[in-house]
Amino acid sequence: TYAPVADVLAGKYGVDDTVTIKGWVRTRRDSKAGLSFINVHDGSCFDPIQVVAMNSLANYEDITKLTTSCSVSVVGTVKASQGQGQALEIEAQSVEVLGWVENPDTYPMAAKRHSIEYLREHAHLRPRTNIIGAVTRIRNCLSQAVHRFFHEQGYFWISTPILTASDTEGAGEMFRVSTLDMMNIPRDDKGLVDYKEDFFGKETFLTVSGQLNVETYCAAMSKVYTFGPTFRAENSNTSRHLAEFWMIEPEVAFADLATVAQLAEDLLKYVFKAVLEERPDDMAFFAQRVNKEAITRLESVVNSEFVRMDYTDAIDILQKSGKKFEFPVEWGVDLSSEHERYLAEEHVGAPIIMQNYPKDIKAFYMRINDDNKTVAAMDVLAPGIGEIIGGSQREERLDVFDRRLAEMDLSQEDYAWYRDLRRYGTVPHAGFGLGFERLVAYVTGMQNVRDVIPFPRTPGNAQY
């Protein structure tokens, strides 16, 4: 067995205890006095631990050839550190080299600062860097906190499918999944591709959202959520769009928009607090290297009340702002990211829960308000990134729902099972989707969602 570096640095072993650690060399320097100082990391915490190797070790010559990312197994004694930095270090009894780095001069991840774009091009090696290591621990901390939050509140985690026939958002941004042989593609009598001949006997896609599926469980289990990968074939090359991203989608029965607006606020505060408490090492790094306010803004969000604002009032604010926007503002338009950012960053300076959007720019399942013009929808807009949550109260009234389907030229047949939920014991219910990468980007201050998911999928890029 071996000890995680995090445990050794946290003082879980006494001074003069013997421990084994295993990891990778970050840096090494030799002193004239016949000592080699090796910084070893194993991913368990932000800091590497310093290993001091003396020239009395049998393989000392090998040790002085260690370069960044060589893998080592070290047996040694825990000591109080003389130098500045860590309080504890390891005095080596043995340093076994497990794997050398061939040709260190051309090793792509040599210990210097690389641009974030360069790291993206080496997605298989970038986990070894400080910055991606820190992102990875924060990402893990956030997903654990999400599950904990819902578990503590009595929600059930529902595994919704990835393969589906439904276009939840109705935006036509779905990846088709097919086993048809494109060279010998079957056609129906109109000459169209005959998906009845395909694996599922029906045209099938990767899901854009687990919402419709999770609603079925909501209509029996009351409080549920799904947390999984979702896919969007939208051709947006922006810093906040991925073709494959993870989404957290709670769905609550006997609830209205105000209930889930509060749930969204509570969830965000809960996970921000978890990160501040559990990962101060990584957050200190982000505050130092990525965004000066990484920690302070989370602290202030945790202690603030989110502003609730009506879409109609937001349009008014934007029009009166005197700002020149690329996309002109008038009632009925969808808010673009420049509008969202103006409102969250300049007007309020904190997250906003924007509510009651025009029905024409929103999905078919959202509940129509009494004004017949707007729906009970909400977006949570965060400074620095814009929309991180989209949600709504769902239309639970069958007659109103059917009228909306007809208005939008959608067939009752395609939504037969979804309509059943309104036919058999319908209840008011509401939910939302939190984009997990946008959450990680917001927490860390990272500018691009491509750098907070291990293997980003974007137009033209599905390497690795």
- Is 251 in contact with 224 (CB distance < 8 Å)? yes
Binder of residue 211, out of ligand 4AD, Mg ion, none (CB less than 5 to 8 A by kind): ligand 4AD
In the complex, least distance from residue 226 CB atom to ligand 4AD, rounded to whole angstroms = 8
Tell whether residue 395 is a contact of ligand 4AD (CB under 6 A): no
Choose one: 5-13, 82-90, 245-253, 342-350; the region binding ligand 4AD (CB under 6 A).
245-253
**CB neighbourhood size of 43 (10 A):** 15
Ranked by CB distance to Mg ion, the top (closest) residue is: 390
Q: Which residues contact 283 (CB under 8 A, 6 or more apart)?
A: 138, 275, 276, 294, 295, 298
Answer for which of 66, 247, 421, 446 binds ligand 4AD (CB under 6 A) is 247
Q: In what order do the strands lie in the sheet with 163-164?
A: 163-164, 204-206, 176-177
Distance of closest approach, residue 432 Cβ to Mg ion, in angstroms: 10
Instruction: Give the residue with the Cβ less far from ligand 4AD, 186 or 459.
Output: 459
Q: Which does 435 bind (CB under 5 to 8 A by kind): ligand 4AD, Mg ion, none?
A: ligand 4AD
Site size toward ligand 4AD, by CB under 6 A = 24
Strands 307-310 and 352-358: parallel
Residue with the two structure tokens 């922006």: 238
Each residue 423-442 as x (binds ligand 4AD by CB under 6 A) or -, in order, gives --------xxx-x-xx----
What are the beta bridge partners of residue 88? 80
By CB under 6 A, name the one of 25, 242, 335, 368 that touches ligand 4AD: 242
Q: Which is nearer to Mg ion, 70 or 363 (CB)?
A: 363
CB of 124 to ligand 4AD, least distance (A): 22
68 binds, among ligand 4AD, Mg ion, none (CB under 5 to 8 A by kind): none
Interface contacts to Mg ion, rule CB under 5 A: 390
| Residue 433 interacts with which of Mg ion, ligand 4AD, none, CB < 5 to 8 Å by class | ligand 4AD
**Are 426 and 397 a contacting pair, CB within 8 Å?**
yes
Please report how close the Cβ of residue 454 comes to Mg ion at its closest, in angstroms.
24
**Least distance between ligand 4AD and beta carbon 186 (Å):** 32
Decide: 208 and 172 in contact? Cβ < 8 Å.
Answer: no
DSSP letter for each residue of 152-215: HTTPEE----SEES--TT-S----EE----GGG--B-TTSSB-GGGSTTSS-EEE-S-SHHHHH
Measure CA 321 to chain center. Answer: 32
From the list 23, 390, 445, 456, which residue makes contact with ligand 4AD (rule: CB under 6 A)? 390
Which listed option, ligand 4AD, Mg ion, none, makes contact with residue 167 (CB within 5 to 8 Å by class)?
none
- Residue 418 within binding range of ligand 4AD, rule CB under 6 A: no
Q: Is 393 in the site for ligand 4AD (CB under 6 A)?
A: no
The least CB distance from residue 34 to ligand 4AD, in Å, is 54
**Beta-carbon count within 10 A of 97 CB:** 15
CB of 314 to ligand 4AD, least distance (A): 16
What is the rounded distance in angstroms from the CA atom of residue 16 to the CA atom of residue 435? 47
Distance, CA of 231 to CA of 240 (rounded, Å)? 14
Contact 436, 443 (CB under 8 A): no
For residue 456, give the nearest of 323, 346, 446 by alpha carbon. Answer: 446
Least distance in angstroms from the C-beta of 252 to ligand 4AD: 11
Structure tokens at 328: 């002109």
Q: Are the C-beta atoms of 320 and 343 separated by less than 8 Å?
A: no
Decide if residue 245 touches ligand 4AD (CB under 6 A).
Answer: yes
**Cβ closer to ligand 4AD: 24 or 231?**
231
Task: Tell me the C-alpha distance between 133 and 7, whole Å.
Answer: 17
Choice between 282 and 437, CB closer to Mg ion: 437
CB 286 within 8 A of CB 332: no
Please state the closest distance from residue 462 (CB atom) to Mg ion, in A.
24
Closest CA to 439 of 258, 163, 233, 246: 246
List the one residue from 5, 252, 263, 389 that touches ligand 4AD (CB under 6 A). Answer: 389
- State the minimum distance, in angstroms, from the CB of residue 232 to Mg ion: 11
Q: Which helix (H) or strand (E) holds 52?
A: strand 49-54
Alpha-carbon span 113 to 107, nearest angstrom = 14
Tell which one of 204, 207, 211, 213 touches ligand 4AD (CB under 6 A).
Answer: 211
With a CB cutoff of 8 Å and minimum separation 6, the contacts of 328 are: none
For ligand 4AD, give the closer residue by CB, 26 or 429: 429
Among 128, 232, 297, 341, binds ligand 4AD (CB under 6 A): 232
| Residues at the contact surface with ligand 4AD, assessed by CB under 6 A | 168-169, 209, 211, 232, 234, 241-242, 245, 247, 249, 387-392, 431-433, 435, 437-438, 449
